[in-house]
Amino acid sequence: MIDSILLRFAIIFNLFLIVSAALLAGNVNVWRRTLGYNEVVQSIVVDPHQSGSLYCCSYADVFHTTDDGETWFSCGLGTERGYPKSLAIDPVAQGVVYVGTVDGKILKSRDAGESWTEMSVGLGSGSWEDGGIVQIEILPTDNQTILAVSPRNGLYKSTNAGQIWRLIRAGSLSSLAIDPKNPAILIVGGEQGILLKSTDCGATWRDAAEGMPRDKVLDFAIDPSDSESIFAATQGGGLYQTTNGGGSWSLNKFPGAWILSVVIHPLEPHNMFLVYSTVAQLVYRSVDHGKNWVRLNTGYPGRLLALDPLRPHHVYLGLMDRSPRLEAGLSLSTNDGDSWTRLASRGLPDDWISGLALDPSSKGVLYAATYSGIYKSLDGGRTWRANSGDLPASPVDGIAVAKSNPSVIYAYESNSGMYRSQNGGVNWVLRDSGLGDQPVRTFAIDPTNPDIVWASDGLLYYTHDGGVTWAEKPISYSM
């Protein structure tokens, strides 16, 4: 339910990005978007081949950094090929990345995210409600064997690096873990306390839920030094542990809690972290294999965790708050969680980014519409400054720059209307006479005439005089 709501937020706030990039740039591939504070991160994977390199995805795109999050670059996936949900990095072949989408697709990149190929043969359908492909895991000893979790359909397996998939376990599954010492051992969890174990890489399964509550299993962590020790994060039951490989389970900590994520460091197995979901998600750490837990001061509510396999003390935290003002983005700790640094584009405000637009005449010039106003970057999104001019102080829901005259900018505020600037955002004039009463969700400027603009609030509107007047344009359908 939470992911479904977040997806709808992401669609609304990123729809304009897709339209403006296509119309203004003429080629979506030239749009290089940086990770902002407001990206609700769905998955984080740390590159085992290169220190400081990691990927994360929001519903808007997949992002890549090679400098520990100082700068982020879009991998160009966007949303037209499916909203990204899960990620995996090939442990053997450098630069090979897989992404799962909310509509049940899997895409593969062989060049560190520069280009993508769909690899969905044999996969069933997915949907927003069930999350599509929520997890992808690659066997550490055989990078041709890949497993993918679909809550609607079950567990899929490919033995040829994603070319063909087959369903090896049907059911409403939500999580998967592979034994790092013996990759033939799999643990899967799902709705209503489903917990199954396979010792032959999915050919056969047995029930392994003794002692577990009837709660959805959200995450697993297998101790890399002791395969019999496994931790299970549940939705409303707390953190559970088995010391006999799933023969029986007992409550470890946090009875009745949602545990969103649990991780064990591969180089220091005594070092563990988890996200405890309350009103504000809290992060805890254990240094004694889960016997005792200490709350960490992350500064922001957490959602999911990733540990750097090359650097034992580096911890990445995906952020999310359930309050109306969503906190999102990514934080990094280089000292096992004692202190944290927020990673994102410098200078942007700490609130939602509702629209982005580029200056088609100047390389690296970007505009961002935020709840705090309009911001401008001259260096491809690395740094930003306020650029609202005399625009009324109100959340800005969308922005577009005219391709034929980049000094002409349109911005929409749901609280006050559509505005036009003729001098690059210094001065603004209200131009919404004739627009409907509902909030405008997307708009685009004609690439050859800055006075012609199309806008939609569910109905379609058109202006030929720069917004002085607007007229509804009925849409007719032919069968």
* Residue range 203-237, pLDDT digits in tens: 999 999 999 998 888 888 988 888 899 999 998 89
- Percentage of residues in the chain having pLDDT higher than 70: 82
The yes-or-no verdict on residue 419 having pLDDT over 60 is yes
Residue 172 · residue 191 · CB < 8 Å: yes
Instruction: Output the pLDDT for position 188.
Output: 95
Amino acid at 363: K
Q: Which residues contact 209 (CB under 8 A, 6 or more apart)?
A: 193, 194, 195, 196, 249
* Residue range 173-206, pLDDT digits in tens: 999 999 988 999 999 998 888 899 999 999 999 9
Residue 280: HSE in the Cβ half-sphere, 13 Å Cα cutoff: 12
The yes-or-no verdict on residue 88 having pLDDT over 90 is yes
Higher pLDDT among residues 167 and 358, named by residue: 167
CA dist 103 and 11 (Å) reads: 14
CA dist 52 and 137 (Å) reads: 21
Q: Which residues contact 342 (CB under 8 A, 6 or more apart)?
A: 37, 299, 300, 329, 330, 331
Amino acid at 408: V
CA dist 419 and 414 (Å) reads: 11
Check residue 6 and report its DSSP letter: H
Check residue 383 and report its DSSP letter: B
Cα angle, residue 286 at apex, residues 284 and 292 outer, rounded to 5°: 100
Instruction: Output the pLDDT for position 369.
Output: 85
Least confident of 120-124, 365-369, 449-453: 365-369
Instruction: Output the pLDDT for position 277.
Output: 61
Ramachandran quadrant class, 259 (left: phi over 0; alpha: psi -120 to 50; beta: rest)? beta
Residue 292 · residue 286 · CB < 8 Å: yes
* Residue range 14-65, pLDDT digits in tens: 433 333 333 333 333 333 344 554 557 788 999 999 988 999 888 778 888 8
- Which single residue is written with the structure tokens 């003429």? 26
* Residue range 285-329, pLDDT digits in tens: 999 999 999 999 888 777 778 888 777 788 888 765 544 444 556
Q: Is the dihedral of CA 198, 202, 205, 209 positive or negative?
A: positive
Instruction: Output the pLDDT for position 403.
Output: 85
* Residue range 72-85, pLDDT digits in tens: 777 877 656 778 89
Residue 116's SS3 state is coil
